[in-house]
Amino acid sequence: NNTLLEVKDLKMYFENKKGFLGKKIEYVKAVDGVSFKIQKGETIGLVGESGCGKSTTGYSIMRLYKPTAGEIIFDGKDIAQLSAAEVWPYRKRMQMIFQDPYASLNPRMTVSDIIGEPLDIYHLYEGKERQERIYELLNTVGLGKDHASRYPHEFSGGQRQRVGIARALAVNPDFVVCDEPISALDVSIQAQVVNMLEDLQASLGLTYLFIAHDLSMVRHISQKVGVMYLGSLVEFAETEELYEQTLHPYTKALMSAVPELDPAISKTKKPVMLQGDVPSPIDTPVGCKFASRCPYATKRCHEERPIFRNVGNEHYVACHLVE
């Protein structure tokens, strides 16, 4: 069994503060029934507009929250409802690279302290060994020893993200959630960081959940891609299959916004403009969540929620149009 992680019908609802003062408590359904599997050494891309629940899915898997429902089977063990103490050894095997390398590094800590912090939390190295480990990690992400005593503000965005990556790798994780790790970076250095993440994956045997807001960012790094809308996956497939046999109308709309490098194709390609608003994650529609914006929506779509199902070839889609 080569599966590292299996998420089954994961739900993460947050209590909405408006529920107080005698009113009925409402829930924000940030993650509302997400299921997928990741094999060891694989990268899964998770894509969707901001607020669709992709980061919350990542945080829930890492058990930064206790999920409302569902299973998170990590290396054979369901960790979804474990207590903080019980989840500790699993948490150590999962790390996160954050979107904003400016906000995610404490400006008052040196690079050495930042990278050393997870080593201290998990009591991994001490004294001279700890220092050597920090130098080794800096070297792994292409930064010299001389960077250790400096502060984040002395670095460029790309260098800061390297520090964030070194911090994530400090405890030798198996699984890394990369939460939009290149979105805040200059276009000219995005490819460098992606290439580095790929090299590290190969040399360290890492498994990634790579979160991004647009499909072009995940195509080359992911073996499989999931598309999220309003807390749920609407489509999930092997990368080439998803890009070439796109089935869900929402994925098609996202796909049409991906810049085309071939000018012959880009001239004929018209972006699909989505009309209408994303419904509130509190009052989610009874039918298809995408119905208010879908150009193909029928009466049935407004009344009945389509099931997320395998239509062959491990290609999953939630749409009544796809039979």
Binding region for ligand SF4 (CB under 6 A): 249, 288, 290-291, 294, 296-297, 301, 306, 319-321
Segment 136-145 long-range contacts (CB within 8 Å, at least 24 positions apart): 137/166, 137/167, 137/169, 137/170, 138/111, 138/166, 140/166, 140/169, 140/200, 141/165, 141/166, 141/169, 141/196, 142/196, 143/111
Minimum distance, C-beta of residue 249 to ligand SF4, in the bound complex (Å): 5
Q: Which is nearer to ligand SF4, 178 or 274 (CB)?
A: 274
Minimum distance, C-beta of residue 288 to ligand SF4, in the bound complex (Å): 3
Q: Which is nearer to ligand SF4, 298 or 313 (CB)?
A: 298
Q: Which is nearer to ligand SF4, 88 or 296 (CB)?
A: 296
Q: Does 60 bind Mg ion (CB under 5 A)?
A: no
| Phi, psi for residue 208 in degrees, rounded to 5 | -120, 145
Pairing assessment for the beta strands 175-179 and 207-212 based on DSSP bridges: parallel
Give the position of tokens 């992911």: 222
For residue 235, the number of C-alpha atoms closer than 13 Å in the C-beta half-sphere is 27
What does 74 bind: Mg ion, ligand SF4, none (CB cut-off 5 to 8 Å by kind)?
none
Pairing assessment for the beta strands 316-317 and 232-238 based on DSSP bridges: antiparallel
What does 55 bind: ligand SF4, Mg ion, none (CB cut-off 5 to 8 Å by kind)?
Mg ion
Minimum distance, C-beta of residue 309 to ligand SF4, in the bound complex (Å): 12
Minimum distance, C-beta of residue 44 to ligand SF4, in the bound complex (Å): 22
Q: Which is nearer to Mg ion, 43 or 55 (CB)?
A: 55
CA dihedral angle for residue 177, residue 183, residue 184, residue 190, rounded to 10 degrees: 100
Minimum distance, C-beta of residue 243 to ligand SF4, in the bound complex (Å): 18
DSSP 274-292: PPS-PPPSSS--SS-TTTT
Q: Which is nearer to ligand SF4, 87 or 318 (CB)?
A: 318
What does 61 bind: Mg ion, ligand SF4, none (CB cut-off 5 to 8 Å by kind)?
none
Q: Which residue is nearest to Mg ion (CB)?
A: 55
Q: Does 55 bind Mg ion (CB under 5 A)?
A: yes
Contact 75, 226 (CB under 8 A): no
Q: How far is 251 from 318, CA to CA, in rounded Å?
A: 11
Minimum distance, C-beta of residue 50 to Mg ion, in the bound complex (Å): 6
CB neighbours of 24 closer than 8 A, spacing ≥ 6?
none
Q: Which is nearer to Mg ion, 143 or 178 (CB)?
A: 178
What does 249 bind: ligand SF4, Mg ion, none (CB cut-off 5 to 8 Å by kind)?
ligand SF4
Neighbours of 24 (CB within 10 A): 6
Per CB under 5 A, residues contacting Mg ion are 55
